[in-house]
A and B are shown apart, each in its own frame.
Chain A
Amino acid sequence: MLIELRDMFKTYEVGTQQVHALRDISFSIEEGEYVAIMGPSGSGKSTLMNIVGCLDTPTEGSYLLKGTEVAALDDDELAEIRSAEIGFVFQTFNLLPRMTAFQNVELPLIYGRAARQTRAERVWETMDAVGLGERAHHRPNELSGGQRQRVAIARALINRPSIILADEPTGNLDSVTGEEIMQIFRGLSDAGNTIILVTHEQYIAEHASRIVKLLDGRIASDTMT
């Protein structure tokens, strides 16, 4: 089992009140699955994604990632897990504006302590895979939205993570470009990658083979498509 959440709670303290962002979440994801997490805003899907992506830790319960209890790890250990196991794709791309596409894609390799010689090769390989070869030395502001998201996907793939976490990856794109991006995810899934897609759009979620719906911090449904 790649991901195993057990009786997981995430609680925030707002003033004296406790707000339960996630309550009693239990589910697991196997290697190679393509899962969409759906839900209206405030349903807790972002919180869930943050925890699954090791950006945050649960207040209660257990999260096993490849058998490792993530809930007990400190900042740097979480960073190492993110570096090795997780590739993020954000709605707003989140590329570093002063760096070229190439440098953006290379950055996770640097944090992953990859040797300089192997880095360039890996970057070219990955950028070609998302169809970006000739735009490598452009800055994000010289790229179209679709191209930016391709750079972001290449950056997410560069360390060959166990999980690709995409948070509304088409949210800032027109429908045609969005469809192209979804085709890339389709291809990645077919190649055996595990993908978790967070969205509130049904037609986007339908690209996935399994849809988990959240409501008020609980799992409302978990269905195969």
Chain B
Amino acid sequence: MSVPGTEIRQGIAKAMEFRETLLSSIRTLRSHKMRSLLTMLGIVIGTGSLVSVMSLIAGLNSSVSAQFQSVGTDIISVSRYPWVQMGNSDEFRDRKHITLEDAAAVGRLRSVGLVAANIHTRRHLAYDGRVMKYTLVTGSTAEYEIIDNYLVEEGRFITDLDVERRRQSVVIGADVAGELFPVRDPLGKDVRVGGRRFTVVGVLKSKGDIFGESLDDLVIIPITTFQKAYGSRRSVVIDCSPAEGVSVERTMDDIRQVMRARRRVPRGEPDDFAINTQEDLMSAYNSLTGVLYFAMTGIVGLALLVGGIGVMNVMLVSVAERTREIGVRKAIGARRGDITAQFLIESIILTGIGGAMGIAGGVGIALLVKAVTPLPAEVTVGAVALAAAFAGITGVAFGVYPAHRAGKLRPIEALRYE
């Protein structure tokens, strides 16, 4: 007796030579379309969700990593609210505002390099009959350009002099330039920001968008002008970078001490402010994709298991129905491995077709999501290959038992079967 593994492998190698096995398998499956289709459903769902979820995650990954690069990597941002909020956010509402004095105190720290306080609101913009509603208006200083990684396309950024003199200067984002100045050069033109007149001094380079939200729909004005125009009773965000040669952690510790002291946070109480870094976003993002992967693994695993059991069931039925055929094949010279290979190939074709349908569906879903929602999606070769491999493996894993049973049928009993 030969080892079952080698027997099957030899059988497959020989079976592959003749496409008759393949064709006869396809003929069998076609003659039971409904049954085959139902059997494939689990495989279709499994591979489909694998491809679509992996495509979505791949799309998110590339858009997020591009995004993180566009914002400075070493930025430390002190604000009332954390960037990533978990649970109830009501507790943040009663927190004391962060002030420009806080920003100045942070700026005096040795471990801090650049500091840019910034304040935000949303206002309508208007120029020459054109209107943009609820555009983000940011008041800040010259340092904001460097810390938050803005690039000027045309003109200049806000300067110290703008801040000092409370000038009515405005730097506009790419979207604003496109919307309000479709043909004219925006530089030197007067636009209305929340009803007040500002002169355009610069246009920013596009930063693209993240999750469908444009990062170019904004204007930046001097922080002093902002307070005069829209009031000073707003909490300030302090963006800063560590001083040369100082670690982010060290800088964060220093900032935390200063802020706790200034806000009189008792010892042992938690911070009543948030110190945000890219890492917080990164870890939040990673835990999100982690959950997605986990859910996907569950769905895929379950669907393939259900699909696999379906395949095994249908193959066992097929073996039973074709007992006599197996007997005839054996009588005219088929070896055990020939029969085993035939049924194994049938099972792989079954899951293969299911896998192909699932992959097509998954790609379709990914493209549909990309087309109708702001979520990005990227179909990768890896996702398709993985899905195909899973489909094939399921075919083999759940096809082995029925195929083995077919192979070891005794010819006289099989021939006698009605």
Contact = CB atoms under 8 A, between A and B. Distances in A.
Nearest to A47: B412
Chain A contact patch, size range: 20 to 34
A98 B333 contact: no
Contact of B324 (A56, A94, A110): A94
A4 B100 CA distance: 111
Contacts of B338: 111
Contacts of A178: none
Contacts of B31: 98
A82 interface: yes
A2 interface: no
Nearest to A74: B1
Interface stretch (B20-28, B121-129, B185-193): B20-28
Q: What secondary structure prevails in chain A residues at the interface with B? A: helix
Contacts of B148: none
Interface in B318-353: 324-325, 327-338
Contact of A76 (B324, B329, B337, B412): B337
Given A94-B324, A98-B24, A113 B14 contact: yes
A110 B2 CA distance: 21
Given A76-B2, A88-B331, A96-B328, A56 B412 contact: yes
A76 B338 CA distance: 10
Contacts of B402: none
A146 to B, nearest CB: 19
Contacts of A116: 17-18
Interface string B207-242: 000000000000000000000000000000000000
Contact of B332 (A50, A83, A98): A83
Contacts of A79: 330, 333-336
A88 B330 CA distance: 11
Contacts of A199: none
Given A94-B324, A96-B325, A98-B28, A111 B334 contact: yes
A82 B331 contact: yes
How would you classify the secondary structure of chain B's contact residues: helix, strand, loop or mixed? helix
B355 interface: no
Interface in B376-418: 408, 411-412, 415
Nearest to A103: B20
Contacts of A88: 331-332
Contacts of A30: none
Interface string A69-85: 00000111001101110
B329 A55 contact: no
Interface string A122-152: 0000000000000000000000000000000
A196 B333 CA distance: 18
Contacts of A56: 411-412
Contacts of A50: 412
A144 B287 CA distance: 70
Nearest to A95: B328
B16 to A, nearest CB: 12
Contacts of A84: 333
B332 A108 contact: yes
A223 to B, nearest CB: 28
Interface string B7-46: 1000000100110100010011001000000000000000
Q: Which of A90, A98, A106 has the most CB of B within 10 A?
A: A98
A159 B332 CA distance: 10
Contact of A98 (B2, B7, B27, B415): B27
A75 B331 CA distance: 11
15 contacts: A50-B412, A53-B331, A56-B411, A75-B335, A76-B335, A79-B336, A82-B330, A83-B332, A83-B333, A90-B328, A94-B331, A94-B415, A98-B24, A108-B332, A155-B332
Interface of B: 1-2, 7, 14, 17-18, 20, 24, 27-28, 31, 324-325, 327-338, 408, 411-412, 415
Interface of A: 50, 53, 55-56, 74-76, 79-80, 82-84, 88, 90, 94-96, 98-99, 103, 106-108, 110-113, 116, 155-156, 159
Given A79-B330, A90-B415, A96-B325, 14 more contacts: A50-B412, A53-B331, A55-B415, A79-B334, A79-B336, A83-B333, A88-B331, A94-B327, A106-B20, A110-B18, A111-B338, A113-B14, A116-B18, A156-B332
